[in-house]
A and B are shown apart, each in its own frame.
Chain A
């Protein structure tokens, strides 16, 4: 999987995404207030914070599901103008969901093939005919999908309807669907929620492998601090919709404001 490599080759460590002074509210409720941070190419960036801190809202802003009232999102050096989520997929951002959002009526393979959507472009007429370009495109993408299936070690459940799979495997299939898009930026919303220790280890290994083998930049939300400290390069901490910390795991861990937020020290207004 080396396509988009030209884009990625521009120095690892340069800025891939930046959010500037994002504020988002629903009615009168403020979900995010003046949040700014950046994500560099090739890093694992964790977003942490207590419940209701605005982490998921942040991901939803990044992949275009919510449009912030204030602030700017810059991706790959360009300012975004309220794009739709499906446009963002074409720009190279993929994600997984906190509550698994697989296509329940489809097999593992079909889920992953659906992840290849942005890489396929045969029109309705060609597909109706099938023989020729549509079939060739299908087969070429099937090869890519099989690479993902091999990588995630889910060959045995290739044709199983995902609704029948156990939770841990569903999480893995969902990661596979996101990877199938060959994204530049991969957003993971609590990839390890509800997993046991072994499953978490597997998932951590896959995340690090994705970063190393494909050079994908990863932003993730996670509650397990041990995991976050182990696998992330930099961490941004949110609390009540505001950024209260940003830096390497060591820096964040020793930051007094962050400790207070997690230990539940009373908020001064």
Chain B
């Protein structure tokens, strides 16, 4: 009754293809944006920013990226951690080589470097499919991490082998380094996330997005319609890696500040992002957000209940987290392969009828 589409007529195709065709959805979207930009920054404290909010924003970017490749184009990648590492190290090299460079430019550049690397590892995708490709992306994961560990040029010959983000300002506020305020770091990541989410939405609703999905659903038919499989898959690899690279750059520079590559960007990071899009919803922008939020929040919640509430040792909480995450993956694949996004859609369809279901 209150949430409805009746009376919301479209008189132009432009009106019909917008992101939120329903007026109420549109209002909701602007409301969320307004709260995120104008209200949340004043409520932040250090714990929330570093435990929940920054990881959520950054993993949402990575999940958007992987969803483009896996959810929209149907190419499974287990190399997300490796590509995040590329973004992080590109960011570090750019920050240290060009100290005056604007941080937006640095992050953008990190994404572009990662896109180029992703393109390279995407080449085998022309000839191989499915889990064969998944194994090929494992090569990227292990090789890249090894490379950043072994070639001192990447970490500027530092003795520890770590990379540390120097302080950089944005409009007078520090956003990296130890003096960065929670609000400044939050806003910087939020701006990038919102911009990239809009880009992801634009790409997936138009010609490129349809060609990705065509390759995913029926590659032979797609080819006969005129879709060049190599170009299409490579474009998905490049765009996806760009997103993942940006996420890696932010993860290093804004979130962690100091990174040791095998710890921060190991294979488990690849799985984490993959799980986000499975639970959130393959082939859905909203799903990328939902999945990232879910998998960032759940461990925090579990830890608070089990360690904080019940006083159990942390290792037990960690094991139970593994059990729950693994179980949920299987459960979602069985019961709802389109993830939280589909549950949300169903809920909205129900809401359209509520409270008069007939």
Contacts and interface: CB of A to CB of B under 8 A. Distances in A.
Determine direct contact between A and B, CB below 8 Å: yes
A114 B211 contact: yes
Given A103-B222, A134-B207, A138-B17, 8 more contacts: A63-B224, A84-B223, A103-B214, A110-B213, A127-B202, A127-B206, A130-B206, A139-B13
Given A63-B224, A101-B220, A118-B226, A110 B283 contact: no
Given A124-B235, A134-B202, A138-B17, A114 B214 contact: yes
Contact of A117 (B203, B207, B239, B283): B207
Contacts, number: 106
Interface of B is mostly: helix
Interface residues of A, number: 40
Contacts of B101: none
Given A95-B224, A105-B283, A118-B225, A113 B210 contact: yes
16 contacts: A86-B225, A86-B228, A103-B213, A103-B214, A103-B216, A105-B213, A113-B210, A115-B225, A117-B207, A117-B226, A127-B203, A129-B202, A138-B13, A138-B17, A139-B13, A139-B14
Task: Specify which of A90, A117, A139, A142 lies most central, judged by the most chain B CB atoms within 10 Å of its CB.
Answer: A117
A90 B14 contact: no
User: Nearest 9 CB-CB pairs, A to B?
Assistant: A89-B226, A103-B217, A101-B221, A130-B202, A118-B226, A114-B210, A85-B223, A142-B13, A128-B199
Contacts of A90: 226
A65 B220 contact: yes
Contacts of A120: 207
Interface string B220-252: 111111111100000100010000000000000
Contacts of B199: 128
A242 interface: no
Contact of B227 (A86, A97, A127): A86
A115 B12 CA distance: 21
A89 B208 contact: no
A172 interface: no
Nearest to B195: A128
Given A110-B213, A177-B225, A102 B206 contact: no
B218 interface: yes
A243 to B, nearest CB: 24
Nearest to B208: A127
Interface string B12-48: 1110010000000000000000000000000000000
Contacts of B223: 84-86, 89
A124 B208 contact: yes
Interface string A80-120: 00001110111000110100011111100010011101101
B218 to A, nearest CB: 5
A135 interface: yes
Contacts of A181: 225-226
A65 B224 CA distance: 8
Interface string B328-340: 0000000000000
A117 B225 contact: yes
Nearest to A106: B213
Contacts of A89: 223-226
A105 B283 CA distance: 9
Which interface class (under 10, 10 to 19, 20 to 34, 35 or more) fits B? 20 to 34
Nearest to B74: A105
A160 interface: no
Interface in B263-306: 283
Contacts of A102: 217-218, 221
Contacts of B228: 84, 86
A86 B213 contact: no
Contacts of B213: 103, 105-106, 110, 114
Task: Specify which of B12, B221, B226, B228 lies most central, judged by the most chain A CB atoms within 10 Å of its CB.
Answer: B226
A266 to B, nearest CB: 37
A117 B199 CA distance: 20
B354 to A, nearest CB: 21
Given A63-B224, A90-B226, A117-B227, A122 B14 contact: no
B13 to A, nearest CB: 5
Interface string A134-157: 110111001100100000000000
A115 B213 CA distance: 13
Nearest to B202: A130
Contacts of A97: 221
B203 A124 contact: yes
A195 to B, nearest CB: 20
B14 A135 contact: yes
Contacts of A65: 220, 224
Contacts of A110: 210, 213
A122 B209 CA distance: 12
Given A85-B223, A89-B226, A177-B225, A101 B218 contact: yes
Contact of B207 (A85, A105, A138, A143): A138
A121 to B, nearest CB: 8
Contacts of B206: 122, 127, 130, 134, 138
Contacts of B225: 86, 89, 94, 114-115, 117-118, 177, 181
A127 B239 CA distance: 12
A262 to B, nearest CB: 30
Contacts of A146: 13
Contacts of A95: 224
Contacts of A117: 207, 210-211, 214, 225-227
A231 to B, nearest CB: 23
Interface in B95-128: none
